[in-house]
Structure 1
Amino acid sequence: MSLLLIALFAAALIVGAPIAVALGLSSAITILAYGLPIHVLAQRGVNALDSTPLLAVPLFILAASLLSAIGVTQHIFDLIRMLVGRIRGSFAQVAILVSLIFSGVSGAALADIGALGRIQIDEMVRQGYKKNFAAGLTIAAATIGPIFPPSIPIIIYASVTNVSAVQLLIAGVVPAILITLFLMLQVAVMARLYDLPRDTVKPTVREVAAKAVISFPALLAPLILIGGLLSGYFGPTEVAGVTVAYALLIGAFIYRSLTLKAILDGLRETVEATASILFIVSTAAVFAWVLTLDQVPAKAGALLLGLSDSPFVLLLMVNLLLLIVGMFLESIAAILIIAPIVAPTLHAAGVDPLQLGIVFVLNLMVGLLTPPVGMSLYMVSIIARMPVHSVVRGVLPFFIPLILSLLVVTVVPAVSTWLPHLISQ
């Protein structure tokens, strides 16, 4: 049964079917071929969407869209640019820091690229950076978004593995900061090696102070979000709703730049993005049910434990598996298909569920940078109007800090477990 399912899924992908269609179609044909009740398609698909944490997905998408529409991105960008100064490669460092801050409201790599990509790439090229460097840095920095809370992939991972979404979101804080530091270190090295340009901005103290005042409400958005999670007053869904309300409040009464058209555009974008994500969630649930019916999770678990019972060795094997899978599968689909298979085995072997969740998501975010299905590559290719192979060439140096971050998170469990365990005490 599983062989037929996987063969049909692979065939659908090869002919160019969307991931959700490939998952649903292969599952439906397999169910019919083995005489299973066809109503399972609807039942399993709907049950997968009956999840409170998933309510956070459309709300975070809407919040990111509204905050981008009212100019939060530009305010944060301008302030950090003034603060970093005119060190060599400073604008590249600004791009990394802005990605960290904006990730506190976006929750997705593609959202970061959509909001920041064109601004960053155009300005870096204007200052004298090579275009492929600018594109590569933009993609690499966007991987921070799905690790730092709020993170849509982390919320989905938590929903399919029965791990606390709040604790898992908090577990992403330190790894995201670690990725940021490694990326900044990489840029600092490249700045010396390749004589990267200095920023052209020369602000006065008064200009910096004025921009800080203007930017304060924008900077407060991620602080409210993180503070709500850390305090325990809000779960992922509640904090997503609060973030939307805050975006509407500052857009209407402080910045006064939020128009009815921007709200309608944000709602339209939210519906489209949410429909795409939840379609994958629904069809992947049916796909995973067929695999479970054929006892694939149990067989895979027995195989892994037969190879080794060391948590560290099992984590390394999962890293290798996910790096390969991330090259071919969209990240949310990969989470929904693979997490229910490998997570129970690694939990039983002693791997901390929080560490595994961060390792899992970080692996798949690296997959966004790798052909042939690296969505970030194609999105930046469109934004920057450059061929994909040039984008790939630009992103290659940034695999070093990303893989190094992945190794640290894998080898040192405390990087992802220390903060949530501290908060829960």
Structure 2
Amino acid sequence: MEVIVLFSVFLVLLVLGMPIAFALGISSLSFLLLEGISLTIVPQRMYAGIDTFVLLCIPGFVLAGNLMNVGNITEHIVRFCNALMGHIRGGLGLANVGGSMIFGGISGTAVADAASIGSVMIPGMAKSGYDKPFAAAVTAASSTIGPIIPPSVPMIIVGSLAGVSVGRMFLAGAIPGLLLGVAMMITVYILAVRRGYPKERRSTLRELLHEGRTAFWALLMTAIILYGIIGGFFTPTEASIVASLYALIVGMYVYKGLTWRKLPAILTDTVLTSSGLLLLVGLANLFGWILTSQQIPQMVAAGILSISENPLIVILILNLILLFVGAFMETIAALIILFPALLGVATGIGMDPIHFAVMAVLNLMIGLTTPPVGVCLFVVAGIGNLQMLSVARAIVPFLVCNLIVLFLVSYIPAISLWLPNLLMGE
């Protein structure tokens, strides 16, 4: 009875539009009160949820993303991608995807990517003759590449949940992220040709080299982060601090978009965003503890395996569950609540934990662009001053593209496992 109340309160609050963190907290509180469990468990479980060293990199990467955006680093990334691909039909859309791949490879968050790239590309694409819903859809879809390509905040979360190396998780996401980016570029090109979208003037070699030189410092950041983690020079948490310091120096002294007067606002925004994320992690851990105490994960695992023990069927079921949840729940909360239970099912049919982790993150990233709760859809609709329905319609081809990549990643383990096994050993 109490479990029914737990889920009922949670779902009602979600439907009413309450932030996911508060929905998790209030539903958990209702369960504890009905069960007569001491409320001292609330701070204990919340603290246990965030008392992980690797989670310190969340505010670090959030700060790096904010510094990039204000320090004109994002603009130089977009300009370089446009110089490289702008002359192709639909070139601005291709540059949008390319910029998101580079930006996401530094900030590791989809929403920051959608907001920063979108603020530059959506008005620019609309002015150049692209349909504004298409521009918003490209931005939203490509923003989900960031949390797949390293570094990635969701990969950090699942790494800590699964007890596997975060560096190995980062490497496992590299090829799927690149595959996702290439698939989106192909989709953009096909749509651009069909709809007759414009193409820009081909950049001269001098212009291309100029944009490459100016973007060099932004591109170097990703190389430093990955080489440092893979080479064992610093942990992911230390990498986030290195990224922030690098973004501060480059934004202030190279691109000169940052000033000391802008730093208080940047730090305030970082604190608010990071505290919101960590509050969500803490409350999701409390909710997950309740589910574990009621043996819900075991029931879910038994229910899935009672349908079929065929690995192909089980993987399909896991994907359907994650896609459904991702359409309604915030990524980090979904990972903390569902991942431990579904990981047991995945390992039970012989899946590698890292393979399953990449598959799970990719599913939930697709959820960020799926109505009704697709956060990135709301972000780009706000930037473009568009109705949500028009953006949701425009993103359908990209959802199909993403599902094809998800199918490949789910059923071909080598896409996720080849690179970490090659560089870090099996």
How high is the TM-score relative to the length of structure 1?
A: 0.96
Q: Which runs of 5+ in 2 are unaligned?
A: none
Q: Is the 8 A contact 1:45 1:285 kept in 2?
A: yes
CA spacing shift, 1:15–1:253, aligned 2, 3 Å: closer
Question: Secondary structure of the residue that 1:300 maps to in structure 2?
Answer: helix
CA spacing shift, 1:189–1:15, aligned 2, 3 Å: closer
Is 1:209 aligned with 2:209?
A: yes
In structure 1, the residue matched to 2:319 is 319
* Deviation digits for residues 342-397 of structure 1 (CA, Å, limit 9, x no counterpart): 11221232111111111111111111111111111111111000111111111111
Shift of 1:138: 0.8
Q: Is the 8 A contact 1:248 1:258 kept in 2?
A: yes
Question: Match of 1:217, as an amino acid?
Answer: W
In structure 1, the residue matched to 2:197 is 196
* Deviation digits for residues 77-119 of structure 1 (CA, Å, limit 9, x no counterpart): 1122112241211111111111111111111111111111021
2:310 & 2:267 partners in 1: Cα distance? 47
2:205 & 2:69 partners in 1: Cα distance? 27
* Deviation digits for residues 207-250 of structure 1 (CA, Å, limit 9, x no counterpart): 32222222211110111112222223222111111111111222
Question: Match of 1:15, as an amino acid?
Answer: L
1:219 & 1:255 partners in 2: Cα distance? 13
2:145 & 2:335 partners in 1: Cα distance? 18
In structure 2, the residue matched to 1:177 is 178
In structure 1, the residue matched to 2:367 is 367
Question: Secondary structure of the residue that 1:172 maps to in structure 2?
Answer: helix
In structure 2, the residue matched to 1:257 is 257
Question: Match of 1:417, as an amino acid?
Answer: L
Q: Is the 8 A contact 2:90 2:199 kept in 1?
A: yes
What percentage of aligned pairs have identical amino acids? 37
Summarize the alignment of residues 271-286 of structure 1 with structure 2, pairs less than 5 Å apart.
271-286=271-286
2:180 & 2:209 partners in 1: Cα distance? 29
Shift of 1:255: 2.7
Is 1:305 aligned with 2:305?
A: yes
Is 1:110 aligned with 2:111?
A: yes
**Greater Cα shift, 412-421 or 32-41:** 32-41
Is 1:240 aligned with 2:216?
A: no
1:113 & 1:270 partners in 2: Cα distance? 16
Shift of 1:202: 4.8
Question: Match of 1:120, as an amino acid?
Answer: M
2:232 & 2:309 partners in 1: Cα distance? 35
Q: Is the 8 A contact 1:66 1:262 kept in 2?
A: no
**Greater Cα shift, 97-106 or 187-196:** 187-196
* Deviation digits for residues 130-154 of structure 1 (CA, Å, limit 9, x no counterpart): 1111111111111101111111111
Question: Match of 2:348, as an amino acid?
Answer: A
**Greater Cα shift, 306-315 or 108-117:** 306-315
2:303 & 2:204 partners in 1: Cα distance? 63
Is 1:221 aligned with 2:221?
A: yes
1:307 & 1:336 partners in 2: Cα distance? 24
Question: Match of 1:31, as an amino acid?
Answer: L
Question: Match of 2:106, as an amino acid?
Answer: V
* Deviation digits for residues 248-307 of structure 1 (CA, Å, limit 9, x no counterpart): 222333233321133222211111111111111111111111111111112222222222
1:423 & 1:90 partners in 2: Cα distance? 34
Summarize the alignment of residues 306-385 of structure 1 with structure 2, pairs less than 5 Å apart.
306-385=306-385
Question: Match of 1:184, as an amino acid?
Answer: M
What value does the CA root-mean-square deviation take over the aligned residues? Answer: 1.4
2:382 & 2:246 partners in 1: Cα distance? 32
CA spacing shift, 1:392–1:85, aligned 2, 3 Å: closer
* Structure 1 runs of 4+ with >4 Å offset: none
Question: Match of 2:376, as an amino acid?
Answer: S
Is 1:56 aligned with 2:60?
A: no
Shift of 1:166: 1.5
Question: Secondary structure of the residue that 1:369 maps to in structure 2?
Answer: coil
2:57 & 2:142 partners in 1: Cα distance? 23
1:307 & 1:63 partners in 2: Cα distance? 45
Question: Match of 1:359, as an amino acid?
Answer: M
* Deviation digits for residues 157-177 of structure 1 (CA, Å, limit 9, x no counterpart): 222232322211111100000
Question: Match of 2:370, as an amino acid?
Answer: T
1:16 & 1:196 partners in 2: Cα distance? 37
Q: Is the 8 A contact 2:251 2:258 kept in 1?
A: yes
Q: Is the 8 A contact 2:134 2:394 kept in 1?
A: yes
Q: Is the 8 A contact 1:288 1:337 kept in 2?
A: yes
In structure 2, the residue matched to 1:99 is 100
2:408 & 2:70 partners in 1: Cα distance? 36
In structure 1, the residue matched to 2:10 is 9
1:11 & 1:82 partners in 2: Cα distance? 49
Q: Is the 8 A contact 1:323 1:367 kept in 2?
A: yes
Q: Which runs of 5+ in 1 are unaligned?
A: none
2:366 & 2:257 partners in 1: Cα distance? 36
**Greater Cα shift, 255-264 or 135-144:** 255-264
CA spacing shift, 1:188–1:256, aligned 2, 3 Å: closer
CA spacing shift, 1:16–1:401, aligned 2, 3 Å: closer
2:108 & 2:75 partners in 1: Cα distance? 18
Question: Match of 2:339, as an amino acid?
Answer: A
